[in-house]
Amino acid sequence: MLRILLFLATNVAIMAMISIVFQWLGLGTYLDQQGVHLNLNALLMFSALIGMSGSVISLVISKWMAKSSMGVVIIDHPQNRTEAWLVSTVERLARQAGIGMPEVGIFPQPSPNAFATGMNKNAALVAVSTGLLETMNADEIEAVLGHEITHVANGDMVTMALVQGVVNTFVYFFATIIGHIVDRALFSSRDGEGGYYGYGPGYYITQLVAQIVLGILASMIVMWFSRWREFRADAGGARLAGRYKMIAALEALRRAAEPEDLPGEFAAFGINGAIGRGLARLFMSHPPIEERIEALKRLQG
Protein backbone atom coordinates (compact mmCIF):
# COMPACT_ATOMS: atom_id res chain seq x y z
CA MET A 1 0.00 0.00 0.00
CA LEU A 2 2.85 2.40 0.84
CA ARG A 3 4.32 1.97 -2.64
CA ILE A 4 0.96 2.77 -4.23
CA LEU A 5 0.63 5.92 -2.11
CA LEU A 6 4.16 6.93 -3.09
CA PHE A 7 3.26 6.15 -6.71
CA LEU A 8 0.29 8.53 -6.58
CA ALA A 9 2.11 11.18 -4.56
CA THR A 10 5.03 11.17 -6.99
CA ASN A 11 2.69 11.62 -9.92
CA VAL A 12 0.92 14.56 -8.25
CA ALA A 13 4.27 16.17 -7.44
CA ILE A 14 5.43 15.75 -11.04
CA MET A 15 2.24 17.31 -12.36
CA ALA A 16 2.56 20.26 -9.98
CA MET A 17 6.18 20.84 -10.96
CA ILE A 18 5.35 20.68 -14.66
CA SER A 19 2.52 23.18 -14.21
CA ILE A 20 4.89 25.62 -12.49
CA VAL A 21 7.49 25.20 -15.25
CA PHE A 22 4.90 25.86 -17.97
CA GLN A 23 3.81 29.05 -16.22
CA TRP A 24 7.42 30.16 -15.73
CA LEU A 25 8.19 29.56 -19.42
CA GLY A 26 5.06 31.48 -20.44
CA LEU A 27 3.70 28.66 -22.57
CA GLY A 28 0.10 29.71 -21.91
CA THR A 29 0.82 33.31 -22.92
CA TYR A 30 2.55 32.17 -26.10
CA LEU A 31 -0.41 29.99 -27.11
CA ASP A 32 -2.83 32.84 -26.42
CA GLN A 33 -0.79 35.05 -28.73
CA GLN A 34 -1.11 32.40 -31.42
CA GLY A 35 -4.88 32.33 -30.99
CA VAL A 36 -4.88 28.98 -29.20
CA HIS A 37 -6.76 29.50 -25.96
CA LEU A 38 -6.22 26.54 -23.68
CA ASN A 39 -6.34 26.13 -19.93
CA LEU A 40 -2.99 24.37 -19.63
CA ASN A 41 -3.43 23.40 -15.98
CA ALA A 42 -6.79 21.80 -16.69
CA LEU A 43 -5.40 20.10 -19.80
CA LEU A 44 -2.43 18.79 -17.83
CA MET A 45 -4.67 17.33 -15.14
CA PHE A 46 -6.94 15.75 -17.75
CA SER A 47 -3.91 14.37 -19.60
CA ALA A 48 -2.61 12.91 -16.33
CA LEU A 49 -5.97 11.26 -15.70
CA ILE A 50 -5.90 9.67 -19.13
CA GLY A 51 -2.20 8.86 -19.10
CA MET A 52 -2.05 7.37 -15.63
CA SER A 53 -5.35 5.50 -15.55
CA GLY A 54 -4.26 2.81 -18.00
CA SER A 55 -0.97 2.27 -16.16
CA VAL A 56 -2.65 2.04 -12.77
CA ILE A 57 -5.30 -0.39 -14.02
CA SER A 58 -2.63 -2.56 -15.68
CA LEU A 59 -0.64 -2.61 -12.45
CA VAL A 60 -3.65 -3.57 -10.33
CA ILE A 61 -4.70 -6.46 -12.58
CA SER A 62 -1.19 -7.57 -13.60
CA LYS A 63 -1.23 -10.82 -11.62
CA TRP A 64 -4.69 -11.74 -12.89
CA MET A 65 -3.62 -10.94 -16.46
CA ALA A 66 -0.51 -13.10 -16.13
CA LYS A 67 -2.51 -16.06 -14.89
CA SER A 68 -5.29 -15.74 -17.46
CA SER A 69 -3.37 -14.68 -20.59
CA MET A 70 -0.17 -16.69 -20.16
CA GLY A 71 -1.56 -19.82 -18.59
CA VAL A 72 0.47 -19.52 -15.40
CA VAL A 73 -0.25 -22.45 -13.11
CA ILE A 74 0.26 -21.50 -9.46
CA ILE A 75 2.04 -24.05 -7.29
CA ASP A 76 -0.23 -24.22 -4.25
CA HIS A 77 0.85 -27.73 -3.31
CA PRO A 78 4.05 -28.99 -4.99
CA GLN A 79 3.40 -32.15 -6.98
CA ASN A 80 7.02 -33.21 -7.50
CA ARG A 81 10.59 -32.53 -6.40
CA THR A 82 11.11 -29.81 -9.02
CA GLU A 83 8.08 -27.82 -7.84
CA ALA A 84 9.04 -28.29 -4.19
CA TRP A 85 12.59 -27.09 -4.88
CA LEU A 86 11.25 -24.13 -6.88
CA VAL A 87 8.96 -22.97 -4.05
CA SER A 88 11.61 -23.41 -1.35
CA THR A 89 14.20 -21.53 -3.40
CA VAL A 90 11.87 -18.59 -4.01
CA GLU A 91 11.01 -18.55 -0.32
CA ARG A 92 14.68 -18.42 0.67
CA LEU A 93 15.57 -15.70 -1.85
CA ALA A 94 12.53 -13.63 -0.85
CA ARG A 95 13.59 -13.85 2.77
CA GLN A 96 17.11 -12.72 1.81
CA ALA A 97 15.67 -9.79 -0.13
CA GLY A 98 13.39 -8.79 2.76
CA ILE A 99 10.07 -9.22 0.94
CA GLY A 100 7.00 -11.36 1.50
CA MET A 101 6.70 -14.76 -0.11
CA PRO A 102 5.48 -14.37 -3.71
CA GLU A 103 3.15 -16.75 -5.48
CA VAL A 104 5.17 -19.18 -7.57
CA GLY A 105 3.98 -20.44 -10.93
CA ILE A 106 4.97 -22.18 -14.16
CA PHE A 107 3.80 -21.15 -17.63
CA PRO A 108 4.01 -23.12 -20.91
CA GLN A 109 6.69 -21.68 -23.19
CA PRO A 110 9.43 -23.69 -24.91
CA SER A 111 12.05 -20.93 -24.68
CA PRO A 112 13.71 -20.26 -21.30
CA ASN A 113 12.15 -17.24 -19.61
CA ALA A 114 10.77 -16.00 -16.31
CA PHE A 115 9.02 -12.90 -15.01
CA ALA A 116 7.73 -11.20 -11.88
CA THR A 117 4.71 -8.96 -11.52
CA GLY A 118 2.29 -7.52 -8.98
CA MET A 119 1.48 -4.17 -7.38
CA ASN A 120 2.72 -5.13 -3.91
CA LYS A 121 6.25 -6.38 -3.23
CA ASN A 122 4.89 -8.53 -0.40
CA ALA A 123 2.24 -10.17 -2.59
CA ALA A 124 3.92 -10.55 -5.97
CA LEU A 125 4.02 -13.36 -8.52
CA VAL A 126 7.17 -15.06 -9.81
CA ALA A 127 6.76 -17.45 -12.72
CA VAL A 128 9.15 -19.50 -14.83
CA SER A 129 8.66 -21.13 -18.21
CA THR A 130 8.67 -24.85 -18.83
CA GLY A 131 11.54 -24.26 -21.24
CA LEU A 132 13.64 -22.70 -18.49
CA LEU A 133 13.11 -25.68 -16.19
CA GLU A 134 14.02 -28.08 -19.00
CA THR A 135 17.19 -26.34 -20.23
CA MET A 136 18.85 -24.86 -17.11
CA ASN A 137 20.50 -26.49 -14.13
CA ALA A 138 19.65 -25.71 -10.50
CA ASP A 139 22.32 -23.02 -10.06
CA GLU A 140 21.22 -21.17 -13.19
CA ILE A 141 17.54 -21.34 -12.24
CA GLU A 142 18.39 -20.04 -8.76
CA ALA A 143 20.12 -17.02 -10.32
CA VAL A 144 17.12 -16.36 -12.58
CA LEU A 145 14.84 -16.48 -9.54
CA GLY A 146 17.18 -14.07 -7.75
CA HIS A 147 16.93 -11.71 -10.72
CA GLU A 148 13.13 -11.77 -10.57
CA ILE A 149 13.03 -11.42 -6.78
CA THR A 150 15.24 -8.32 -7.17
CA HIS A 151 12.69 -6.83 -9.58
CA VAL A 152 10.06 -7.30 -6.88
CA ALA A 153 12.25 -5.95 -4.06
CA ASN A 154 13.15 -2.87 -6.14
CA GLY A 155 9.48 -2.15 -6.82
CA ASP A 156 10.16 -2.21 -10.56
CA MET A 157 6.56 -2.96 -11.50
CA VAL A 158 5.31 0.18 -9.75
CA THR A 159 8.17 2.28 -11.11
CA MET A 160 7.57 1.10 -14.67
CA ALA A 161 3.88 1.92 -14.33
CA LEU A 162 4.78 5.41 -13.11
CA VAL A 163 7.22 6.01 -15.96
CA GLN A 164 4.72 4.74 -18.54
CA GLY A 165 1.95 6.87 -17.03
CA VAL A 166 4.08 10.03 -17.08
CA VAL A 167 5.12 9.61 -20.72
CA ASN A 168 1.51 8.82 -21.66
CA THR A 169 0.51 12.07 -19.95
CA PHE A 170 2.96 14.11 -21.99
CA VAL A 171 2.02 12.37 -25.22
CA TYR A 172 -1.65 13.27 -24.79
CA PHE A 173 -0.85 16.78 -23.49
CA PHE A 174 1.40 17.82 -26.38
CA ALA A 175 -0.67 15.98 -29.00
CA THR A 176 -3.70 17.99 -27.87
CA ILE A 177 -1.79 21.28 -28.08
CA ILE A 178 -0.49 20.42 -31.56
CA GLY A 179 -3.99 19.48 -32.64
CA HIS A 180 -5.35 22.83 -31.42
CA ILE A 181 -2.60 24.79 -33.18
CA VAL A 182 -3.09 23.04 -36.53
CA ASP A 183 -6.88 23.24 -36.29
CA ARG A 184 -6.67 26.94 -35.43
CA ALA A 185 -4.36 27.61 -38.39
CA LEU A 186 -6.51 25.68 -40.88
CA PHE A 187 -9.94 26.79 -39.71
CA SER A 188 -9.49 30.30 -38.30
CA SER A 189 -12.62 31.35 -40.20
CA ARG A 190 -14.67 29.67 -37.47
CA ASP A 191 -13.86 32.51 -35.06
CA GLY A 192 -17.06 34.12 -33.84
CA GLU A 193 -17.90 37.05 -31.60
CA GLY A 194 -17.15 34.93 -28.57
CA GLY A 195 -13.80 33.85 -30.00
CA TYR A 196 -12.63 30.50 -31.38
CA TYR A 197 -15.11 27.67 -30.97
CA GLY A 198 -15.58 24.08 -32.05
CA TYR A 199 -13.20 21.51 -33.48
CA GLY A 200 -12.65 20.76 -37.13
CA PRO A 201 -11.24 17.61 -38.72
CA GLY A 202 -7.75 19.13 -38.52
CA TYR A 203 -7.79 18.80 -34.74
CA TYR A 204 -8.81 15.14 -34.61
CA ILE A 205 -6.53 14.01 -37.44
CA THR A 206 -3.52 15.95 -36.16
CA GLN A 207 -3.99 14.87 -32.58
CA LEU A 208 -4.18 11.21 -33.63
CA VAL A 209 -1.05 11.47 -35.80
CA ALA A 210 0.78 13.39 -33.06
CA GLN A 211 -0.13 10.75 -30.47
CA ILE A 212 1.28 8.03 -32.72
CA VAL A 213 4.53 9.89 -33.43
CA LEU A 214 5.03 11.09 -29.86
CA GLY A 215 4.07 7.65 -28.56
CA ILE A 216 6.85 6.06 -30.62
CA LEU A 217 9.38 8.57 -29.27
CA ALA A 218 8.09 8.09 -25.71
CA SER A 219 8.43 4.31 -25.97
CA MET A 220 12.18 4.81 -26.50
CA ILE A 221 12.35 6.45 -23.06
CA VAL A 222 10.37 3.66 -21.44
CA MET A 223 12.52 0.98 -23.07
CA TRP A 224 15.73 2.75 -22.04
CA PHE A 225 14.52 2.68 -18.45
CA SER A 226 13.56 -0.99 -18.82
CA ARG A 227 17.08 -1.86 -20.01
CA TRP A 228 18.60 0.03 -17.07
CA ARG A 229 16.37 -1.97 -14.67
CA GLU A 230 17.69 -5.22 -16.11
CA PHE A 231 21.28 -4.34 -15.21
CA ARG A 232 20.13 -3.63 -11.63
CA ALA A 233 18.16 -6.89 -11.46
CA ASP A 234 21.18 -8.83 -12.75
CA ALA A 235 23.32 -7.27 -10.02
CA GLY A 236 20.64 -8.15 -7.45
CA GLY A 237 20.48 -11.71 -8.71
CA ALA A 238 24.26 -11.91 -8.35
CA ARG A 239 24.04 -10.73 -4.74
CA LEU A 240 21.30 -13.21 -3.85
CA ALA A 241 22.50 -16.30 -5.71
CA GLY A 242 26.14 -15.56 -6.54
CA ARG A 243 27.79 -13.66 -9.36
CA TYR A 244 29.06 -16.75 -11.19
CA LYS A 245 25.63 -18.37 -11.06
CA MET A 246 24.10 -15.21 -12.56
CA ILE A 247 26.71 -15.13 -15.31
CA ALA A 248 26.13 -18.84 -15.99
CA ALA A 249 22.38 -18.21 -16.24
CA LEU A 250 22.90 -15.45 -18.80
CA GLU A 251 25.32 -17.66 -20.71
CA ALA A 252 22.63 -20.36 -20.80
CA LEU A 253 20.14 -17.83 -22.17
CA ARG A 254 22.65 -16.79 -24.82
CA ARG A 255 23.09 -20.43 -25.91
CA ALA A 256 19.34 -20.91 -26.23
CA ALA A 257 17.43 -20.45 -29.45
CA GLU A 258 16.47 -16.99 -30.70
CA PRO A 259 14.81 -15.33 -27.68
CA GLU A 260 11.23 -14.14 -27.86
CA ASP A 261 9.42 -11.48 -25.88
CA LEU A 262 6.71 -12.35 -23.43
CA PRO A 263 3.30 -11.14 -24.61
CA GLY A 264 2.14 -7.53 -24.15
CA GLU A 265 3.09 -5.64 -21.02
CA PHE A 266 5.01 -8.63 -19.63
CA ALA A 267 7.78 -8.25 -22.23
CA ALA A 268 9.65 -5.79 -20.01
CA PHE A 269 9.44 -8.11 -16.99
CA GLY A 270 10.91 -11.27 -18.51
CA ILE A 271 14.54 -12.13 -17.88
CA ASN A 272 15.07 -12.46 -21.62
CA GLY A 273 13.81 -10.44 -24.58
CA ALA A 274 13.93 -10.30 -28.34
CA ILE A 275 17.11 -9.09 -30.01
CA GLY A 276 17.01 -5.73 -31.82
CA ARG A 277 19.40 -4.49 -34.46
CA GLY A 278 19.98 -0.99 -35.81
CA LEU A 279 17.23 1.42 -34.79
CA ALA A 280 15.30 -1.52 -33.33
CA ARG A 281 17.80 -1.53 -30.46
CA LEU A 282 16.13 1.64 -29.18
CA PHE A 283 12.93 -0.34 -28.64
CA MET A 284 14.49 -3.34 -26.88
CA SER A 285 13.17 -4.00 -23.38
CA HIS A 286 16.38 -5.85 -22.47
CA PRO A 287 20.05 -5.06 -23.11
CA PRO A 288 22.03 -7.54 -25.22
CA ILE A 289 23.07 -10.47 -23.05
CA GLU A 290 26.72 -9.85 -23.88
CA GLU A 291 26.51 -6.40 -22.28
CA ARG A 292 24.78 -7.83 -19.22
CA ILE A 293 27.50 -10.44 -18.77
CA GLU A 294 30.25 -7.84 -19.10
CA ALA A 295 28.51 -5.64 -16.52
CA LEU A 296 28.43 -8.56 -14.07
CA LYS A 297 32.10 -9.34 -14.66
CA ARG A 298 32.93 -5.76 -13.69
CA LEU A 299 31.13 -6.11 -10.35
CA GLN A 300 33.37 -6.20 -7.31
CA GLY A 301 33.34 -9.34 -5.17
Based on the residue annotation, tell me whether 294 is a catalytic residue of this protein: no
Rounded to whole angstroms, the Cα distance separating 89 from 50 reads 40
Rounded to whole angstroms, the Cα distance separating 130 from 128 reads 7
Q: Is the pLDDT of residue 22 over 60?
A: no
pLDDT at residue 255, rounded to an integer: 83
Average pLDDT over residues 22-46: 61
Burial class (CB in 10 A: 0-12, 13-18, 19+), 179: buried
Q: Is the pLDDT of residue 25 over 60?
A: no
pLDDT at residue 186, rounded to an integer: 72
pLDDT at residue 98, rounded to an integer: 95
Q: Is 293 helix (H, G, I), strand (E, B) or coil?
A: helix
Confidence of residue 2 (pLDDT cuts 50, 70, 90): very low
Q: Provide the Cα torsion 88, 89, 91, 94; round to 10°.
A: 180
Name the percent of the chain lying above pLDDT 90.
35
pLDDT greater at residue 264 or residue 108: 108
Q: Is the pLDDT of residue 90 over 90?
A: yes
Distances in whole angstroms, Cα of residue 37 to Cα of each of 43, 70, 94, 139, 208: 11, 47, 54, 62, 20
Q: Catalytic residue among 103, 140, 142, 148, which?
A: 148
Q: Where are the alpha helices (DSSP H) in 101-259?
A: 130-135, 138-153, 156-186, 201-241, 243-255
Confidence of residue 195 (pLDDT cuts 50, 70, 90): very low
Q: Is the pLDDT of residue 107 over 90?
A: yes
What is this structure's pTM? 0.77
Mean pLDDT across the chain, nearest whole number? 80
Q: For the chain, which residues make up each domain, given as ranges?
A: 1-70+153-301
pLDDT at residue 189, rounded to an integer: 45
pLDDT at residue 161, rounded to an integer: 86
